[in-house]
Structure 1
Amino acid sequence: MKKLIKTINEIENILTSLEVVLKKEYHNLLNPKISIIDNLESIEEKKILFKKYIILNQDRLFLEKKYHIFAPYQNNNELNNNWNNILKKFYLLKELNFKNKILINKRYHLNQCFLELFSTYKTAITYNFNGNVKI
């Protein structure tokens, strides 16, 4: 049973780390002067945290079957409290992720409009045999 409690605590810690990464990503998306490298680093951090979460979740499912106890853990107060905290984190992460997607879509839309303008401008330019630009 202690392994299950430890696993759930680790899941809670990973979700807290994900929250920090998503808040950092939101801040980076709000500030246009932040480099793309910072955004890529946050994506890598998220990948690592999600991999850890998947492994811990598989362990949690195995331990639940082993001990014949399942979420929301009504019989054990400590597990029940931790599980409620995890659910709250999930809702918070979902909200943060939604905000980030909105910002990404706004930026993508502006970039897409720029690329469309650039592509029409680019098609209007031709080159002659000497490599000189013809308009």
Structure 2
Amino acid sequence: MKKLIDIFQKIDNILILLDKTMHEEYKNLLNPHTDIKKLSFIIEKKHDLLNQLTDAKKIQKSLEKSYNIFPPYLKFKKLNYFSNKIINKCLFLNKMSFKNKKLTKNKFYLNQNFLNLYKSYNNNGIYDINENLEN
């Protein structure tokens, strides 16, 4: 039972780190001068945390199976507490992820529009001295 509580605490710590990382991503997406390398590093960090979370969830499932304890953990106060805390944190992270996704789409949409405008600007015709269009 102690192992299951420890894995819940580990999952909770991973979610806290993921929350900080997603807030950092949000701030960087709001900043118009953010370096793409910085965003790339944040995404890699998020990816690593999600992998750790997946591994911890696998261990959690195997421990639940071995102890024959399954959610909701109404008989076990500590497990119920951590389970509810994790669920609430995941719901919050889901909302945060949606905000970041919208900001990312908007940022890259504006960049793509700028590139399209710039491309059309560069494709304007060039005239020679005799006012003939050059290719």
TM-score above 0.5, yes or no: yes
Instruction: Look up the match of 1:53.
Output: 53
How much does 1:123 deviate? 4.6
1:118 partner amino acid: Y
Q: Distance in 1 between matches of 2:78 and 2:125?
A: 69
1:59 partner amino acid: I
Instruction: Look up the match of 2:114.
Output: 114
How much does 1:125 deviate? 6.5
Instruction: Look up the match of 1:30.
Output: 30
Q: Which runs of 4+ in 1 moved over 4 A?
A: 122-126
Q: Distance in 1 between matches of 2:32 and 2:122?
A: 26
How much does 1:116 deviate? 2.0
**Kindly tell me: are residues 125 and 55 of structure 1, through their superposed partners in 2, closer, same or farther at Cα, counting changes over 3 Å?**
farther
Instruction: Look up the match of 2:90.
Output: 90
2:37 partner amino acid: I
Instruction: Look up the match of 2:6.
Output: 6
Query: Over aligned residue pairs, what C-alpha RMSD do you find?
Result: 1.6
Instruction: Look up the match of 1:21.
Output: 21
Q: Distance in 2 between matches of 1:105 and 1:42?
A: 17
Task: With the length of structure 1 as denominator, give the TM-score of the two structures.
Answer: 0.88
1:65 aligns with 2:65: yes
How much does 1:34 deviate? 2.1
Task: With the length of structure 2 as denominator, give the TM-score of the two structures.
Answer: 0.88
1:18-39, CA deviations, whole angstroms, 9 ceiling, x for partnerless residues? 0000000000001112211111
- Tell which structure's C-alpha radius of gyration is larger: 2
1:30 partner amino acid: L
Mark the runs of 5 or more structure 1 residues left unpaired by the alignment. Answer: 127-133
1:72-108, CA deviations, whole angstroms, 9 ceiling, x for partnerless residues? 2111000000001001100110111111111111111
**Kindly tell me: are residues 125 and 57 of structure 1, through their superposed partners in 2, closer, same or farther at Cα, counting changes over 3 Å?**
farther
Moved more, 104-113 or 79-88: 104-113
Q: Distance in 1 between matches of 2:80 and 2:30?
A: 37
**Kindly tell me: are residues 10 and 106 of structure 1, through their superposed partners in 2, closer, same or farther at Cα, counting changes over 3 Å?**
same
Report how many residues are paired.
128
